[in-house]
Structure 1
């Protein structure tokens, strides 16, 4: 069984000033509901369960420290729009439901951030999508038509405006959409964990190695103890298959990012742009770029089929060099700015781009195959899994069921290990001008 491992390289987590401690499960116990996985799905599910059933005990189990896994490794976007493939759907009702759910997730997160004064660089900064050359511009024009057809607000940027914001003339075109937010993901996850309701117990560094069913519910085995419960909610991302679910449905894909040291005053002057923005590439195989509120630039590109689930450390030097090439192309004036961290973060995809949400077995609720838009999707999924587990039927849950699908069966793993890297290499070559 492959278990999550922390590599010590996630920049978002490593720059945190302090991290609270939640002890692992060390003795046998019984609770009402166990939530496995302390990411966006798990934290939202645990909180919502506690809100729905304040007199019941909820145990949130995380194999690592909260913020070290996939939810603390993304580029810090909480996107309100449908995924680009969903945006291409002709079903405007479906797209409206997706937007509504994503914005309800943003509102839910923001309410907690404000209530508990969580310091996570939360910002209504929106999102930019940008092109480097003709290939990207073609994708960007298509994106603009999709936004226009769906009635979403957007703004096209002039060359002067792009340079004023991004501090570079590297981009040839960009579109701004105002609805999304930016944040520091590891800081957000730690803030959510530190402010759970009183009836939620958190156990970190507690990987679950086995789940078995009993007449009254389930028994979970960890390295040191057994936990009995009546219901289970799984927010286990690509590790879901290791627990015996969706084994031939989840395609684990890892993307990689590098984070600079904070820019000095002199470097900021040479940079010449603004703080607090994020660019996603018009060509999906291009480069994501972030400038944080604390003067760090993040470059994300390069993909890998994560058949072994964790980040191979011997790949990081080459990935950092790729990020350096993309950084230098955009900021030749910042050659003295060093990368401080390089890391990988995993997403669970499906072969037909469908997400899974629902009761996968009696008493076991699951959300997976987030299609690389996990912050909003994970949050609303966790909330709605908790409502479903509590028998609470709402319009939000109904909408969630209607926008979710059935991930297709994937080819055998030996074929995936050959075919997926080949396809990624072809996409990387086709998109080389946009990186």
Structure 2
């Protein structure tokens, strides 16, 4: 399974490089606050049983104590998932780059072209140019803006807020549960996390946003929605505890497929993880480098057995279709946000 391979790739990398990123292999939890959605979790549990994968249905007091919240009516814990601090993971990887690798931070690529007479690539940044024989594009949701797979992938914008660390009294009021992450059983429902340093993260918006960033006023509106979700789950935590609010993008395809390919001679691309987590990003990043180097691996063979992203409708039909689908999913998930 490709997602399992991604999780194992992260665990292996963290162990080999001894990266301190708060990694905890304590599984993952899908949960619902709507009785009508419990059937989804029960059907998922049945499938996991058929596959002989370790899991457990959580209800009532057991679920309440595990999360420190009585908001959810049913949860499904599955073995194998991991939680970590992604910024620490990224920085740990950068600090362990091989000597032959040069890192240029704060150097956005403004444009690129392939020179016809030399067949190499030129990348243009505000501070200078980079010339290379091979180019690997792993910018995920920005692939389309780079002219790569623009008719097969599209970006969505998410926003999230994270609290300051809970005080002793606040932590006590929710029962001091161990760190956890919850995914909604319903598409467009909230993703919530209690971190190792006792912060609560709330993500409950998904939008087709026209720009890369959001203005302060836009983020303030989304923050209010995050606060509503936090108070529904943790009514004992009074006031506005959020310390940070931000937006970010994910890359989606029409058939939940990923990009892993040689786009043309000398140019490779990997991305479009469909909000599957950073495990796939680590796996695909490793293996696209192997592919570009001519090293075939079992992981590459596994990745290549998966479907390719389907052709998308042209604009403005794509924008209209995505907007209608998000509107429908947002309505269905209104009690899960």
How would you bin the TM-score normalised by the shorter chain? Answer: over 0.9
Mapped to 2, the partners of 1:428 and 1:171 lie a distance apart of 18
Partner secondary structure for residue 342 of structure 1: strand
Q: Is 1:422 matched up with 2:324?
A: yes
Mapped to 2, the partners of 1:146 and 1:343 lie a distance apart of 36
Mapped to 2, the partners of 1:218 and 1:255 lie a distance apart of 33
Q: Is 1:358 matched up with 2:261?
A: yes
Mapped to 1, the partners of 2:35 and 2:124 lie a distance apart of 54
Q: Is 1:251 matched up with 2:154?
A: yes
CA contact (8 A) 1:129 1:281 kept: yes
Q: Higher relative contact order at CA 8 Å, sep ≥6: structure 1 or structure 2?
A: 1
**Would the alpha carbon gap of residues 292 and 267 (structure 1) be closer, same or farther in structure 2, given more than 3 Å must change?**
same
Q: Is 1:101 matched up with 2:2?
A: no
Question: TM-score, normalised on structure 2?
Answer: 0.94
Moved over 4 A (4+): none
The residue that corresponds to 1:212 in the other structure is 113
Q: Is 1:222 matched up with 2:118?
A: no
Count of equivalent residues? 335
The residue that corresponds to 1:283 in the other structure is 186
1:312 deviation in Å? 4.1
1:285 deviation in Å? 1.6
Question: TM-score, normalised on structure 1?
Answer: 0.74
1:348 deviation in Å? 0.6
The residue that corresponds to 2:335 in the other structure is 433
CA contact (8 A) 1:218 1:229 kept: yes
CA RMSD across the alignment: 1.7
- For 1:42-191, list aligned pairs within 5 A: 97-112=1-16, 115-116=17-18, 118-191=19-92
Mapped to 2, the partners of 1:315 and 1:125 lie a distance apart of 35
Partner secondary structure for residue 327 of structure 1: helix
The residue that corresponds to 2:279 in the other structure is 376
Structure 1's unaligned 5+ residue stretches are 1-96
User: Which range is displaced more, 160-169 or 102-111?
Assistant: 102-111
1:418 deviation in Å? 3.0
1:128 deviation in Å? 0.8
Partner secondary structure for residue 129 of structure 1: strand
Mapped to 1, the partners of 2:65 and 2:240 lie a distance apart of 20
* 1:324-373 Cα deviation digits (max 9, x unpaired): 11111111111145111111221110112211111011111111221101
1:251 deviation in Å? 1.5
The residue that corresponds to 1:199 in the other structure is 100
CA contact (8 A) 2:188 2:204 kept: yes
Mapped to 2, the partners of 1:374 and 1:250 lie a distance apart of 17
Partner secondary structure for residue 159 of structure 2: strand
CA contact (8 A) 2:114 2:122 kept: yes
Partner secondary structure for residue 236 of structure 2: helix
Partner secondary structure for residue 21 of structure 2: coil
- For 1:338-349, list aligned pairs within 5 A: 338-349=241-252
Mapped to 2, the partners of 1:255 and 1:141 lie a distance apart of 28
CA contact (8 A) 1:357 1:381 kept: yes
The residue that corresponds to 1:231 in the other structure is 134
The residue that corresponds to 1:53 in the other structure is none
Mapped to 2, the partners of 1:262 and 1:348 lie a distance apart of 30
Partner secondary structure for residue 144 of structure 1: helix
1:311 deviation in Å? 3.0
1:250 deviation in Å? 1.3
**Would the alpha carbon gap of residues 313 and 422 (structure 1) be closer, same or farther in structure 2, given more than 3 Å must change?**
farther
CA contact (8 A) 1:135 1:434 kept: no
Match of 2:304 among 382, 401, 409: 401
Mapped to 1, the partners of 2:271 and 2:124 lie a distance apart of 22
1:376 deviation in Å? 0.8
